[in-house]
Every structure is written in structure tokens, then in C-alpha cells.
Copies of this chain bind each other. A is one copy, B any other.
């Protein structure tokens, strides 16, 4: 398989059940259907969407594992309050609630990042193994302007693993997955690329020398700077 370098991106071959998930998810998150409401029966939904019942069932199953609905055998499908039970996967939906990016949620995300990631770096500087240190340096060495976005994500991931706390890794995954668009915007500015490169060498050095406080401080500075710039860029 050859890699299409600057080829067109493959079209959305949206699967039917995915589309159903999207529609229902949006209506639930936008509160067009209230928590506690009963959804139409599977057979009725199938009729409405003009698809087979098994397709509807597949979609409902996914909504259930997102804790957006509760399926009760013999009774029906009921909408849940996602603020009561929803999981972190919902971040992406909340970020783009009414089509546009919700600035309040974005700031929430930045705040949380500002809290978590520096602490993560602190732990990494304290607990890292030599193998992990090597991996960090390999990532930094083998990157260039084009791949900076990917490298930055990888680096964060390795740092999370080096922290010795699995939960940091899982948490980072939840955010990372849907931040691509934002990363692309951020790294469209060459200044940011240069700054990130500097940051990478700095944080690597702090972790190499096992200096938790310094690693934490570097992260704090960089994130604060990045968050500030992002808000400005997104305002435009």
C-alpha cells in the first residue's frame, strides 16, 4: 500500500447506524428531547429513518454505551441526563454544540489541561524509566516542521505513560482524539512551531535530569501561552 502524500482525503462513507447516532446524539445534547423522555419504539424509529430495525438497534446500542440513553427490556428507550452520567467522550459534542465552537467549553478544556498536564509532567520527571527517556528523545530527534503536530501529541502521550499513572494516559486520550482540528490551526503559525520545538527540548531536559518542579513549571508556562494564543486565533 502506497501512502497518498497530498492526495484527496477519502470521502465520508458514513455508515447508516453512525448517521442515526449523530442525529439522536445531537437532539439529546441540545436538549431537544428532555431527560426522562421515551424515544419512539425501535420499530417506529426504523420506519422514520427508513432503515432496518437492526440498524436502529446498533445505533441505540452505541448511544447506550455513551450513557445518553437507557434501554429497558419490555419498556422502551429513555433519554438520560448526560450531565448526570455522560462520559468524557462527549467533550467533542459539547465543543461543537450548535454547529459552532462553544468558547466557554473550550476555555473549560484549557483550564483542565492547565491543571492536569503540568502535574503529569511532574510525575514523569519523577518516575520515568530510561526506556521512556529514550523514546522521548527519539521523538524529538526525528521531527521536523511538517510533523510537529504529530510529534507534540506523541510526546504528550509518552510523558503521560512515563508519569506512572495510567489514568493520565486514558484522560489524555479522551482529549487528544478530537483535538486534531485545533492542532492544525495552532501549527499553521510558524512562530508556534518554533516555540514548540524549543519547548520540546526544554521539557525533555527537565525530565532527563529528573527535575519534577522544573518540568511542571515549563509545562505551565507553555500551556498558558498556547491557550492565550488559541483563544485569539479562534476569535478570528
Q: Which of A's residues lie within 8 Å of B, judged by CB?
A: 13, 17, 54, 57-58, 61-62, 65-67, 73, 83-91, 94, 105, 108-109, 111-112, 115-116, 119, 157, 161, 164-171, 173-174, 177
Contacts and interface: CB of A to CB of B under 8 A. Distances in A.
Contact of A115 (B85, B87, B115, B161): B115
Given A161-B83, A173-B87, A108 B61 contact: no
A104 to B, nearest CB: 8
B119 A84 contact: no
Q: How many copies does the complex hold?
A: 2
Contacts of A169: 83
Dominant secondary structure of chain A at its interface with chain B: helix
Contact of A88 (B83, B108, B161, B174): B174
A129 to B, nearest CB: 15
B61 A170 contact: no
13 contacts: A13-B73, A61-B61, A62-B62, A83-B169, A85-B173, A87-B87, A87-B88, A87-B170, A90-B170, A108-B165, A111-B165, A112-B167, A115-B119
